[in-house]
Every structure is written in C-alpha cells, then in structure tokens.
Amino acid sequence: MTEFNIDDLAVKLAGVAGALVNMRYLQGSPMARISKAASGSLVSYYAAPHVAHLTACPRA
C-alpha cells in the first residue's frame, strides 16, 4: 500500500492548476480551451520528471 504524501500531490497537481488558471486567457471554443488545458496538463505531468533530471532538480 502506498503512503499519502501531500507534497507529492501538490507537485502532481501543479500542471493542472496552471492549465486551469490559464483557461481564461486561451482563445477558441470551450471545447478547444478544455482540450488545450488537458493536453498542457498531460505534457507537464509527463515531461516534468525528465526536465527535473536534466536540470538536476531533486523533485519533479
């Protein structure tokens, strides 16, 4: 069983939170805006560990 760690949750939700904040500034239909936010969140979620490794950050 995995332990619940609030710090890990905050790190994982950072990309989603940023996408939701930027929804106001996106152009297009509501569906296009949701699609852009979702794809941005996914890229952030999957790219963050790689970028953290490249930049020698301790956590992603």
Give the tens place of pLDDT for each residue, 30-56: 888 888 878 877 887 788 788 878 888
Interatomic CA distance for residues 26 and 13, integer angstroms: 20
- CA distances in angstroms from 42 to 2, 3, 8, listed in the order given: 23, 23, 16
Per DSSP, the residues of 1-51 read -PPP-HHHHHHHHHHHHHHHHHGGG--S-HHHHHHHHHHHHHHHHHHHHHH
pLDDT at 60: 52
Instruction: Look at 24 and 32; give whichever has higher pLDDT.
Output: 32
Are residues 16 and 41 in contact, defined by beta-carbon separation less than 8 angstroms? yes
- Asked whether the predicted pLDDT for residue 2 surpasses 70, the reply is no
Domain residue limits, the chain: 17-60
- Asked whether the predicted pLDDT for residue 1 surpasses 70, the reply is no
- Rounded mean pLDDT of 18-28? 77
